[in-house]
Amino acid sequence: MLELNPILVKDLRSRMRGARAYILITIYLLILAGVALLLYAAIAQDIGNDLNAGRRIGQALFFTIATVALIEVCLITPVLTSGSIAGEKERQTYDLLVASLLTPWQIVWGKLVSALAFALLLIVAIVPVMSLAFLFGGVGLTEVLIAIAGLVVTAVLYATIGLFWSAMLQSSLGATSFAIGTVIALLLGIPFLIVIFTLILGSSAPSDLLESIWFIYLSRFVVALHPFIALGATASQLSSGSGPFFEVVRTSTTNVVVPSPWVLYTIFSLIAVALLLAASARLVQPVQSGADRQKRAGKER
Amino acid sequence: MTPLVETQNLTRRYGSNLALDHLNLAIPEGAIFGFIGPNGAGKTTTMRILTTLLSPTSGEARVAGISVTSEPRAVRRLVGFMPDFFGVYDNMKSWEYLDFFGRSYGIPAQRRQQLIGELLELVDLGHKRDAPVMSLSRGMKQRLSLARAMMHDPRLLILDEPASGLDPRARIELRELLKELRAMGKTIMISSHILTELAEMCTHIGIIERGKLLAAGEVQEILRTMRPHRIVEIRVVAGAARAEEILRTHADVLELRREGARAESEGDAAPLDDETGPHTLLADFAGDEHALGDMLAMLIAEGVRVSHFAEQSGDLEDIFLHVTKGIV
């Protein structure tokens, strides 16, 4: 009989044992529900007898819950994985793992999937809260599915970033700091670059440049590197009547078909995940040749 | 005996620091091999290479004829490793700890469950099956760690300082356990600073300093060949004064002491009186077996009545201090 990955079994056992996991889920859902409640109270006060009130409340609830959930996923998932391999080094169980018959891929994969299983539990847990939006209308199934896909892809990407730093560094604290640092750099750095780029181009940018195919693709690619911008742009396109997978950009000369931002974001994320996983597995090779390992082995000797 | 572990010119550098210098080692199958050396001598480096955790800079290491560098996975099947620290997992029970490593070595579920019970009994932790690992005493953790190293039934057990930090009872239990493992046919490579214990349980020893193997072989052989001299214990019932006189002038006797007396006051002491005897003399003897026999014959011929004439059992600490220079 095919057995589950040993690391996955061990980590899930450890993670779900005790009150820690349940407390985290409870806090996570309380924040979401609290935000939803406050938002509803604020919008209901403001809208009065508008005929589209339900629709507006539904949309506001949905986008707010999706955004809060995305923020939480961005912050929680790298922390879930950043202590995984570094934690083995700190507990001095790392050598026992790499001296066993587990392959580096099994170790990396087991660590990722066990963290993701918990992250997916968090994502699944928000579905009932998110579904509140359906009571009010204004939100379609496509939006909900794309939001969930975006959350899942973000969870996988950011968990892999945490895992990479965990394989690279010796301490959980260092790995967590670098993982959170990377996430902050991505989340703040990309919008910063977009703003700088926009300011440089300004209103004086020639229309030839703005309508060139490479510029259209490049701008969409940059937008697609950021989960909030990519998913926000997708929502905006859906509300303006575009399809869920492609966007048609009309220039003065031609129409350019570009994949929807969430599709590009998913593709980029999966490529980054593959590269980071390969790098992590390489760092977990049992035969040590890196400077860190030399230093460590020299100390132990 | 065929060597299970063989290293040929095994060398490992850490930058400019030479940790292992052309180490040539052979550990016969079924032996308990004590690896002795000062801190930083290269013991852990050797053990880490043999467990495939570290690659050598040059040279070759083989376990059962399999190269640790070209076929590390095959070597890992043959080697059980117990490092000098006990890695602890939070929220894990003793059986789960073994179950995890059993899975990691690909042991089928049914066999694993049976094996966990057997190994917990072997290390006398059957009653702690459902106890959290964190709650075990240090000695129990060491025994659990040994059970973990045994999960995949390895031919070679590599134990790095297994007795460090253990109380006397836990040490004795560990020693008995190792003897039991040897009886099961396991080859055991063990490093320790407690040399008296190693002398008692090891069949072979290797002494390493600054990455060089200074001596290796069977314990008794090493004790016989490496000691600067042998100490002969002679118990004299009658003729003690005459015996002392003969021994003091014997060419192979380097030094003669009365048991319990300080060597430097020996010369001024009054002749031994048989009335207060029997007396025990300790002679540092530099001669070979034949010369030892001749000395006994001489004593008897001179009318000395000897009730006990024996070479003192070797002390590994003496050998260690004699062979090593204390340089790291």
d(CA A1, CA A3): 6
CB atoms B55 and A98 under 8 Å: no
Closest by CA position to B85, among listed A299, A91, A97, A296: A91
> B294: distance to nearest CA of chain A, Å?
49
Q: Is residue A172 pLDDT above 90, yes or no? A: yes
* Residues of chain A with C-beta less than 8 angstroms from the C-beta of B18: none
Q: Could you read off the pLDDT of A246-286 as tens digits, one per residue?
A: 888 777 778 888 888 999 999 999 999 999 999 999 998 76
Mean pLDDT of chain B: 84
Q: How confident is the model at residue A193 (pLDDT cuts 50, 70, 90)?
A: confident
* Residues of chain A with C-beta less than 8 angstroms from the C-beta of B73: 101
Q: Does A16 touch chain B (CB under 8 A)?
A: no
Using CA atoms, how far residue B320 sits from B37, B221, B314, in Å, is 8, 14, 11
Domain residue ranges in chain A: 18-286
Question: How far is C-alpha B4 from the chain's CA centre?
Answer: 17
Residues 6 or more apart whose Cβ sits within 8 Å of residue A167: A85, A86, A108, A279, A280, A281, A283, A284
d(CA A285, CA B296): 64
Using CA atoms, how far residue B12 sits from A134, B57, B213, in Å, is 66, 5, 14
Tokens of A200: 């440089």
CB atoms B92 and A97 under 8 Å: no
User: Judged by CB atoms within 8 Å, which residues 68-127 of B form the interface with A?
Assistant: 69, 72-73, 76-77, 79, 81, 83, 85-92, 96, 100-101, 103-106, 109
Considering the domain B3-223, what is its CATH architecture? 3-Layer(aba) Sandwich (3.40)
Examine the predicted complex and report whether its ipTM is higher than 0.85: no
Closest by CA position to B35, among listed B210, B208, B219: B208
Q: Could you read off the pLDDT of B46-101 as tens digits, one per residue?
A: 999 999 999 899 999 999 999 998 889 999 999 999 988 877 787 889 999 999 99
- A210 or B264, which is more confident: A210
> B33: distance to nearest CA of chain A, Å?
19
Q: Could you read off the pLDDT of B119-164 as tens digits, one per residue?
A: 999 888 999 999 999 899 888 888 899 899 999 999 999 998 887 7
Which helix (H) or strand (E) element contains residue B66? Answer: strand B66-67
CB atoms B53 and A286 under 8 Å: yes
Domain residue ranges in chain B: 3-223, 227-317
Task: List the single residue in A1, A14, A287 with the smallest CB-CB distance to B92.
Answer: A14
Q: Which CATH class is domain B227-317?
A: alpha beta
Coil, strand, or helix at residue B126?
helix
Query: Most distant CA pair in chain A: distance in Å?
Result: 77
Please tell me the predicted confidence (pLDDT) of residue B322.
67
d(CA A141, CA A134): 9
Predicted TM-score of the model (pTM): 0.78
Q: Could you read off the pLDDT of B210-257 as tens digits, one per residue?
A: 888 888 888 877 776 666 677 888 898 888 888 888 888 888 888 888
A79-88, A148-157, B32-41: segment of lowest average pLDDT: B32-41
Q: Could you read off the pLDDT of B259-306 as tens digits, one per residue?
A: 765 444 445 567 777 777 788 888 888 777 888 888 888 889 888 888
What's the average model confidence in pLDDT over A225-250?
85
Residues 6 or more apart whose Cβ sits within 8 Å of residue B296: B306, B309
Please tell me the predicted confidence (pLDDT) of residue A300.
43
* Residues of chain A with C-beta less than 8 angstroms from the C-beta of B86: 92
d(CA B249, CA A171): 68
φ/ψ region of A260 (left if φ > 0, alpha if ψ in -120 to 50, else beta) reads beta
Q: Does A93 touch chain B (CB under 8 A)?
A: yes
d(CA A234, CA A244): 8
Q: Which residue in chain A has the smallest CA separation from B106? A: A101
d(CA A266, CA A269): 5
